[in-house]
Chain A
């Protein structure tokens, strides 16, 4: 009986003294860090704000100006006469700015129908784990697109608003792991002016897209938009394949697509080409970031302290 007591008391004391080993402090450190810790947000779900043609869930970072130049050549099946599409060029240039960590704005100009576009994109939910679990990132995109070519029918009374288009898009994305991300984007395009009373002003579609990282700095992207109702009877759905290369302050996106357009109202609903027929268009997006506002200013870190 005495022996049992003795051994339990020795065991107990050695157990207690174990907690005083150096590991203890490390454990306490871990506990301290897990207390009131911030949610662990998923970052860099996609490399840039565009997958290929469509928007991703990503925003430009707060205080950063993103200059984008997007360029599409002609279709490869135009043959040697058009130098396999390289003679043809359409483009869009834009400036886009991150106001804070959840809101960005931007404006651009496309050669197609001499269209000006402006948009805002807001992050509503951010994918996170840890202190808060949120499986997806949800963004909302609102865009206004105005073409400035002469009115199709100059004889009738035309309004400026006749040339306007509005886009509303929800983007639901998830970074599944370090290399694979996927997103779905239900979209509505509203056309202010349509051909006849029987044509719908509102066009609906669902976009799907994913990226797979090949290396830390390159990835393969695929993007597809399914039209629920079509604008053109013989319209085709957009399918694009892209390749992202990241070099310092630039992201270079090479792509092949069956759409020559780079704004939602057109690349979703105005395509006529198909991959099968060889209407494949090569192109690239170039994104260059400029830091306008140093995000650390507010933190007031004095370098002299060190």
Chain B
């Protein structure tokens, strides 16, 4: 009897802890924009990537993003090559990712349409270097659909991305990253 109840309760706990598929939302076409254009630009340095993958767990607020560095598209092919070869070293560090959590999940009412400002804390990995970051974002609910948006900046120096002196006035010292993710329920 005692054994049975322990077995039962342990199964119950397990069930509660396991990620419920209903709570999981996924996108494989999140847009990530990256802008490193300096104040007095010689030329715009920005790129887009429409192939970011992200999961959102609406029950726990966990949020993960990953993107292939090689999939960033620049206006100039040579700029794209330099981005991969000279700055991001995408052969060595193919991915950039974020693993974190919405820290004020309680403000979001997933059942009601609206825009909810959220705070997200987590670890951002870029150029092989992981740093904790805190960013502000918005979760918008519209007709049951979830969209997440955020815009934040990182210092290139923090992620050991070299900015040689000769190009120092052509490339900003910080990169502004904007993200839009429109999620679908994970099947």
Q: At the interface with chain A, which of B71-79, B102-110, B129-137?
A: B71-79
A301 to B89, CA, bound (A): 25
B48 interface residue per 8 A CB criterion: yes
In B33-53, the 8 Å CB interface with A consists of 33, 48, 50, 53
B31 interface residue per 8 A CB criterion: yes
CB distance from B33 to the nearest CB of A (A): 6
A217 interface residue per 8 A CB criterion: yes
A155 to B3, CA, bound (A): 112
B163 interface residue per 8 A CB criterion: no
Residue from B11, B54, B99, B180 in contact with A22 in the complex, judged by beta carbons closer than 8 Å: B99
B111 interface residue per 8 A CB criterion: no
A154 interface residue per 8 A CB criterion: no
CB distance from A100 to the nearest CB of B (A): 12
- A20-B19 contact given A6-B3, A43-B70, A301-B31, CB 8 Å threshold: yes
- Counting chain A residues whose Cβ lies within 8 A of the other chain, the interface size class is 35 or more
Residues of chain A contacted by B78 (CB below 8 angstroms): 61, 64, 248-249, 289
- A25-B85 contact given A249-B78, A289-B78, A301-B31, CB 8 Å threshold: no
A278 interface residue per 8 A CB criterion: no
- A296-B66 contact given A25-B55, A32-B53, CB 8 Å threshold: no
Residues of chain A contacted by B151 (CB below 8 angstroms): 306
CB distance from B13 to the nearest CB of A (A): 6
Residues of chain A contacted by B3 (CB below 8 angstroms): 2, 5-6
- A301-B50 contact given A43-B81, A289-B77, CB 8 Å threshold: yes
CB distance from B1 to the nearest CB of A (A): 11
Residue from B68, B73, B101 in contact with A299 in the complex, judged by beta carbons closer than 8 Å: B73
A258 to B99, CA, bound (A): 57
Residues of chain B contacted by A32 (CB below 8 angstroms): 26, 28, 53, 55
Give the most central of A13, A43, A291: most B CB within 10 Å.
A13
B143 interface residue per 8 A CB criterion: no
Q: Is the CB of B55 within 8 A of A306?
A: no
CB distance from A156 to the nearest CB of B (A): 49
- List the 7 closest A-B pairs by CB distance, nearest first: A61-B77, A13-B10, A20-B17, A17-B17, A306-B178, A16-B14, A216-B86
